Amino acid sequence: MNKHLETQLVKACIDSKKNKTTTLGNREHQVDIAKYCCEIRLKQEMDKIFKKLPFIVLHSSELNESNRYKSVDTNIGSLIATRDTNGEVHVFHNSCRHRGAKIVDGSGCNKLLVCPYHAWSYSLEGELKSVPGQMHCFPELNKADNTLIRVPSIEKHGFIWAIPNVNEGRSLEEVLGEYLGDIAPHLEWMDGPNLKVFKHTQKVWNANWKIFTEGGLETYHFSFAHKDTIARNFQNNIAVIDQLGMHFRVIMPTRAIDKPGLMQQEYLSLREHSHTLFYVMPNAFMLVQENHVEWISLRPIAVDQSEITVTTLIPCNEDLDNEKTHSYWQKNHHITNLTLDEDWKLGVGIQESVTNGHLPFLRYGKNEWALKALNDEIERLLLE
């Protein structure tokens, strides 16, 4: 994203406020509640979307040096991400080639991954290196045929991406580029390689993943749902929202756009005048704030249950040994979670309503067009 586009977007927010409006769709919509409580529907979404599209495994800073590894639960099961001696990243299914035990639980730094069950060990490139008692117990085993099962992966925009579905003849770079499309320059602008993880907060909430996702695509609720936390910093029901391929960009202007004379300025920084949300289909939100990014990741556990991880990404040169700096970011992480918990709790209430089945449908206003567009996009992916 260049400075011209930043300025354009901030000015569009100022215009919106002047005209007392927000980005609107053509009409209102009614939504079938079955898609939030149908098991078959979730299975289709898992198969056609979550197990097919590229997704973020880790932020690069989570493997910040050679010989580091970390396990992570994802939509295609538990994975191990490693950074080998040469700095190359690899992603494998976290399943031992002996009897399938999980090899890694958490993170560490070592040249070998050792299965906790019978101590088969693997290199960080996935090769099976040693098998206790191999001569007597597994005389027929060929180690070369029993490497860890690899998931194609690529490091880009400061994240490690898994690409579960690669057609022959296509490079990972191409597949990721095509999937990200017009959101890619925005991720570039976010400057992920110069960030590091401060802290993750992870919790399971009882609602369908789409209910939580929809909540991120409108600001209509800010003044009410967040009245005790962030509402006073934002404009009421004003947002500039665009769909970028299957992804979305949501500009949520802060009170900073009230400063007089801004329309005459040549450059207006997006970070200084708004919080900018990038929704990367299907399960990543990047909330870009003035000096950091909140990365929110969703994982469907059941039709009415989702695991949500909120990760605060901060500039990589922040000295966290400095008590003041640490407590600044701690406070930030805390406020983010306090605010987002307000959203998640409302989502749980919506799930109860749709599960109880007494509502004929849910309703989206013209200002909630992006929620409809998201659901249309999901329908399109299900048909592919």
Closest separation between CB of residue 344 and Fe ion, Å? 9
Compute CA distances 137 → 27, 29, 101, 115, 345, whole Å: 69, 64, 18, 17, 54
Residue type, 168: E
What's the CA gap between 244 and 352, in Å, rounded?
A: 32
CA–centroid distance for 30 within its chain: 27
Compute CA distances 261 → 8, 14, 18, 266, 346, whole Å: 15, 11, 13, 11, 38
Residues found near ligand FES in the complex (CB under 6 A): 96, 98-99, 101, 115, 117-118, 120
The answer to whether 106 touches 113, Cβ cutoff 8 Å, is no
**Is 92 or 344 the residue whose CB approaches ligand FES more closely?**
92
Question: Is there binding between residue 218 and Fe ion (CB under 5 A)?
Answer: no
**Is 101 or 359 the residue whose CB approaches ligand FES more closely?**
101
Contacted by 162, from ligand FES, Fe ion, none: CB < 5 to 8 Å by type: none
| CA-CA-CA-CA dihedral for 200, 203, 208, 213, to nearest 10 | -30
Closest separation between CB of residue 141 and ligand FES, Å? 12
**Is 101 or 263 the residue whose CB approaches ligand FES more closely?**
101
Q: Which residue has the tokens 């949300």?
A: 277
Q: DSSP state, 49?
A: I
**Is 111 or 203 the residue whose CB approaches ligand FES more closely?**
111
**Is 343 or 377 the residue whose CB approaches Fe ion more closely?**
343
Contacted by 361, from ligand FES, Fe ion, none: CB < 5 to 8 Å by type: none
Contacted by 160, from Fe ion, ligand FES, none: CB < 5 to 8 Å by type: none
Closest separation between CB of residue 335 and Fe ion, Å? 13
Contacted by 33, from Fe ion, ligand FES, none: CB < 5 to 8 Å by type: none
**Is 6 or 343 the residue whose CB approaches Fe ion more closely?**
343
Closest separation between CB of residue 231 and Fe ion, Å? 10
What's the CA gap between 236 and 17, in Å, rounded?
A: 9
Contacted by 320, from ligand FES, Fe ion, none: CB < 5 to 8 Å by type: none
**Is 122 or 278 the residue whose CB approaches ligand FES more closely?**
122
Question: Is there binding between residue 368 and Fe ion (CB under 5 A)?
Answer: no
- Per-residue mark of binding to Fe ion, 313-352 (x: CB under 5 A): ------------------------------x---------
Q: What is residue 115's three-state secondary structure? A: coil
Taking CB atoms, the residue at the shortest distance from Fe ion is 343
**Is 119 or 359 the residue whose CB approaches ligand FES more closely?**
119
51 - beta bridge partners?
A: none
Contacted by 343, from ligand FES, Fe ion, none: CB < 5 to 8 Å by type: Fe ion
The answer to whether 158 touches 195, Cβ cutoff 8 Å, is yes
Cα angle for residues 342, 257, 347 (degrees, 5° grid): 15
What's the CA gap between 93 and 71, in Å, rounded?
A: 9
Q: Which residue has the tokens 């994240």?
A: 159
Closest separation between CB of residue 110 and Fe ion, Å? 41
Residue type, 201: T
Closest separation between CB of residue 99 and Fe ion, Å? 45
Q: DSSP state, 141?
A: -
Closest separation between CB of residue 32 and Fe ion, Å? 24
Closest separation between CB of residue 346 and Fe ion, Å? 8
Half-sphere exposure of 286 (CA within 13 A, CB side): 27
Site residues (vs Fe ion, CB under 5 A): 343
